[in-house]
Amino acid sequence: MPLIIFLITVNLFSQSEPLWINNYPADDLYFSGIGSSNTGNKSNDYERALIQARLNLASEISTSINAETQIVTHDSSNGGYSESFTEKLNQSVEQNLKELEIVDTYYARSQGYWVYIRLNKTRWKSIQNEEMSLLLSRIQQILNDDYFDNRATTADKLFKLASVSGLLEQSPYSTIVKGELSDVYLGNIYDFVQSEIYRISSTISIILAEQDFTLETGEDFELIFSGKGIENYPGKIPYIIYNDEMQFYKVYSDLAGVVRLNMNSEFFQEGRNIMTIFVDSNQLGFTESSNLTKNFISEQKEFAVVLQSASLFLNINSNKRDLDFVAEPLSTIFAKGDENFQLTDKRSEASYEISLSLNFTDYPRVIENAPLMAGLNCIISLKKNNRLLIEHKINTIKDGGLTYEQAYRRVFNKLISILEQDRTYIHEIEDEINN
């Protein structure tokens, strides 16, 4: 028994090197794959060699499919797409290999493991047809009779084309699958989808009700536009509205294709803002990496928004009407240049009113020859259309003088100093206007 085992072992390690290692087999009936691995671990080397053989076989099949599609691939894309196409092709073929036949194996300590496999070309053609038939069936389910119905909306058709586009992009047979679609189209499915994406998207026209808007900080305005295409009903079409800062709104139209969007001044910078509207292919389901997406052509429409600082009218009320030193310092306080609003001399042109109520109080002299004392209360109010929005109160300020007018000047100067040092009231006004 030991002698027999020894002879078998010697025989195994004395196999002559097969011809297929150095002469890659060419067979009209089979796809072939050869793989090898030499790590020193016999068990692992076999598994690694088998995997490598499968990859080589998949590559040979991919080359065959690629030969069928190279004209379409070359005409409809660039090198980047060809590379992506080949990658998906190899992945898909590798995942779908069936009925492989291990023709021969070879092992030598110095060379590791070698594995030779093959797949019948007729059987692979059958597998390929099954895969394309399944792909066509799924596409037919999406592009059913509803797609070709005149009642189908533009949005519905684009959503369906996006779904089909995704299926085609994932398939190695994307450019060669052929079939019939609802008794309306017969031919290459990729060509049909490519043509339909361009036909429908490129004919959607965006019509603006108004193209120029002027507003002040804190104001809203309503943007109205509609999308009309070649179909009877636009449907709920997704749009994106963006500016140069790449801030954007995303919005859907109603079934009639109309968009009504309230836009707030917070979205805009002071001055002239150019906004752009176009159909959002991403929201429809088209991916930027899809080669078919480049056939999505959307009209772009621009509109302008001019944002101005809010205009305020300064109204000063005082119980001492004959004080000529009040108006100018208070006006200066509210026009230093760092506010998000501007003062106007015309009440009719102002969006808001700042009301300053000054109430001077004369205190009686309690000690003979003592200074005459005066007090000052100040209330700053922000109003719009006579409606009180905010109110800021300054605590009573007191000071004295040889005359009441001198006392008034001193308490007023103290008020100015307080207003200059603590501009909390300005921030309160700005926050209210901006909101």
Cα distances from 236 to residues 21, 30, 242, 302, 412, in angstroms, run 62, 52, 19, 21, 62
Quote the CA–CA distance of 226 and 260 in Å, as a whole number. 9
Question: Encoding tokens for residue 321?
Answer: 């009407």
Quote the CA–CA distance of 293 and 285 in Å, as a whole number. 10
Domains of the chain, residue spans: 2-123, 124-201, 205-308, 311-434
pLDDT at 177: 93
- DSSP annotation of 371: P
Quote the CA–CA distance of 393 and 354 in Å, as a whole number. 13
Pick the CATH number of 205-308 from 2.60.40.10, 3.30.460.80, 3.40.630.10, 3.40.50.300: 2.60.40.10
> Which of 261, 51, 255, 287 is closest to 169 using CA atoms?
287
Side chain identity, residue 253: S
Pick the CATH number of 2-123 from 3.40.50.620, 3.40.50.720, 1.10.286.10, 3.10.28.20: 3.10.28.20
Q: Is 283 helix (H, G, I), strand (E, B) or coil?
A: helix
Query: For residue 280, what are the contacts with CB-CB under 8 A and spacing of at least 6?
Result: 238, 239, 240, 250
Count how many Cα atoms sit within 13 Å of the Cα of residue 17 in the half-sphere of its side chain: 9
pLDDT at 340: 78
Residues 22, 26, 29, 35: is their CA dihedral positive or negative?
A: positive
Side chain identity, residue 140: Q
> For 311-434, CATH number?
3.40.50.10610
Count how many Cα atoms sit within 13 Å of the Cα of residue 368 in the half-sphere of its side chain: 0
Per-residue pLDDT of the chain (435 residues; tens, 9 = 90+): 333 332 333 333 336 889 999 888 888 899 899 999 999 899 899 999 988 898 888 888 777 665 554 434 444 444 444 445 445 545 555 555 667 889 999 999 888 999 999 988 888 888 888 889 999 999 999 998 789 988 889 999 999 999 999 999 888 788 889 999 998 999 999 999 999 999 999 999 999 999 999 988 878 899 999 998 876 689 999 999 998 777 788 999 999 999 999 998 888 888 899 999 999 999 999 998 888 999 999 999 999 999 988 889 999 999 998 899 999 999 999 888 777 788 888 888 888 999 999 999 999 988 888 899 999 999 999 998 889 999 999 999 999 999 999 999 999 999 999 999 999 999 999 888 877
Radius of gyration of the chain (CA): 41
pLDDT at 36: 93
Cβ atoms 240, 248 nearer than 8 A: yes
pLDDT at 65: 62
pLDDT at 392: 94
Q: For the whole model, what pTM was predicted?
A: 0.66
> Which of 211, 214, 379 is closest to 310 using CA atoms?
214
pLDDT at 247: 72
